[in-house]
Amino acid sequence: MLKKRMIFTLLFDNGEYALSRNFRLQKVGNLEWLKKNYVFSRISFSIDELVILNVTRGEKNEDLFRSHVRTLSEECFIPIAAGGGILNIDQAKKLLRSGADKVVINTPLYSSPELVYSLSEEFGSQCIVASVDVKNMDGDYSIWIENGSRKIEIEVKEYLLNLANMPIGEIYFNSIDRDGTGQGYLMKMLDILPDDISVPVIMAGGAGKYHHLSEGLKNDQVDAVATAHLFNFVGDGLIKARDGLIEEGYDLAKWANKCDNFKGKD
């Protein structure tokens, strides 16, 4: 059985990092701010993976995004999944060469599913993270693409079943309604997943406190929990969260804590 994972998500917005609430962005700080408040050579020992999403609206500066991925990969000792605006193999290849270990795909899952198969043939299915953004309206769920601006006209369970049969490594399952609220995950959202899904599921959208991460990991359908809440987990927040999860008995990877051997860059 795979170990449970704790994931930290960064939202890149045209050179700065942002908070998101229901997909409305608020810029917080640049790369230097991020490195100062999150010493990645230290917190790398408290998270299992880093997800970096390019959520820039409109035209994206791909070179700038890749330079940030490269910088963070040099300070991180954990796998990095990065994406946002990937429409072809060349873009994915450049991102992987910039330090990413996986690519995150969202809109093309619906608009260009053939890209998923091409990426799988080129890099392997384990390299593909399928990002799914879900809205809930009085129990009626829908899938949204293009940075949450467009609802797709397909029944949710059908879409997710098709997705589960694609050559992907895992699903980043995100609630638009809980995004950035800090109110906890929308756990009922798991009910719309296919019953026999074998693809690992990352729960995202709503985690603002330690106990939200614990609630997510408690569910057998959840393989990993993610948070993008920059303020609530600033400083040693991620370190304390992981220690608490391990103390509760969750099966997370353990390693010798070498944090004191590294110095952060101001």
Spatial contact of 211 and 9, defined as CB atoms under 8 Å apart: no
CA distance 35 to 227: 17
Annotation says 133 is catalytic: yes
Spatial contact of 43 and 238, defined as CB atoms under 8 Å apart: yes
**Which of 133, 177, 236, 266 is flagged as catalytic?**
133
The residue whose two tokens read 């940030």 is 68
The residue whose two tokens read 């990969």 is 73
Question: How many residues appear in the chain?
Answer: 266
Spatial contact of 204 and 9, defined as CB atoms under 8 Å apart: yes
CA distance 111 to 11: 23
CA distance 259 to 46: 10
33 SS3 class: helix
CA distance 210 to 247: 12
β partners of residue 187: none
The residue whose two tokens read 């719309």 is 192
The residue whose two tokens read 């997710």 is 160
Backbone angles phi, psi at 135, to 5 degrees: -115, 150
Active-site amino acid positions: 133
